[in-house]
Amino acid sequence: MLVDILDQNPPLPTPRQPSLILKQYNTTLTPPVPVYLPHNLTTQEFLSLLPDPDTTDSTPAYTFPALRNWLTKLLKTLSLQQHVNHPFYAHPYRLRQLDIEAADWFVRNAPGMDDRLGFMKIQSTIETDAYLHDGEQKARPDWVPGAVFLRGGSVGILIILQPEGATNEDEKQVLLTMQPRIAAGSLNFTEIPAGMLDDESGTFTGKAAQEIKEEAHLDVTEDELLNMSALALPVPKTSNSSSSEELREQAIYPSPGACDEFMPLLLCQKRISRRHMAWLQDRATGLANEGEQIRLRLVPLTRMWREAGRDAKALAALCLYGNLRAEGCVPDMPTEVEREPEELRGSR
């Protein structure tokens, strides 16, 4: 490894001080929770991400509901330990500290644009009170890993296309995207279309329809989409204080060991002309102003598990599709042929 050393003796970091003490959120916090903030997130900005649910306007600021949603679910889960049949009733875990280590802004202080917070990295301290363990001489607390990467919810869409006049299952094609995914060290990662839920103003199906339009050049209405996750998973109970259920989404959690992301998986089925099918293959798409460099790829449904085998959401969507279809929950392919894109119609 070849490096240039720029500073032999960098200054030692000074101890960070908490920016605020959180005493109540939905419930009284015992003990109060010190919160440490990074240099690019002010106390007021942090508080605006946790609006009071009892006020008329409880929408988190900066189109970033992830912090509020995560903290609400965590505190609800911790409160369930008060039930005598809970496995941690005798020695309950408590939230002791929140260290916001990083906040990544997509947009901040840009002329003519609303601020938009993208990701947040948190180190939470969650421990029991100290107690004497069997065979030990000194009391100590139990702890659980508390690192969390907050990015919020997203949607994944399985798009199955069948050409005009086809009746054979072998002619069903899945529309995949290939795009840079730097976290995977890839400039050409194959996956099903997906998109982040930037705010809570829309629906899962509405966001999916938007992503299909942007990434796949297909016009889709919300009623054409089937929420496979909602069909497969039990309906959650209401989130009142007496409920003994944890608050979890009707969705897959791709990496729950360290990330809050949840992803409902939707199905889109369309019949299109063979010319339209050829037009989609290897087509460049995506939003350039958001850094998207996407190419489309059509693969047979029967080979999707191989072609997109590195994409967890693709494999999960395929599993849901196969099992829901076996139970008769998936409608047949539409018979009406989708209207060709204007760009394609003009090339006749």
Q: Compare 229 and 292 and report the one with higher pLDDT.
A: 229
pLDDT of 327 over the 60 cut: yes
pLDDT of 239 over the 60 cut: no
The pLDDT tens digits of the residues spanning 172-199 come to 999 999 999 989 999 999 999 998 886 6
pLDDT of residue 286: 62
Structural domain boundaries of the chain? 20-150, 154-344
CA dihedral 200, 204, 206, 211 (to 10 degrees): 110
Q: How far apart are CA 146 and CA 93, in angstroms?
A: 12
Nearest to 263 by CA among 179, 151, 118: 151
| Percent of the chain clearing pLDDT 70 (strictly above) | 90
Nearest to 134 by CA among 142, 144, 125, 143: 142
* Averaged pLDDT of the chain: 88
Q: Which fold has domain 154-344?
A: Nucleoside Triphosphate Pyrophosphohydrolase (3.90.79)
Q: Which two tokens stand for residue 208?
A: 């999916």
pLDDT of 116 over the 90 cut: no
Helix (H, G, I), strand (E, B) or coil at 255: coil
Amino acid code (one letter) for 345: R
Distance of CA 246 to the CA centre of its chain: 18
pTM, 2 dp = 0.87
pLDDT of 275 over the 80 cut: yes
Q: Compare 245 and 148 and report the one with higher pLDDT.
A: 148
DSSP string computed for 151-183: ---EEEEEEEEEETT---GGG-EEEEEEEEEGG
Nearest to 198 by CA among 106, 63, 104, 289: 63
pLDDT of residue 150: 96
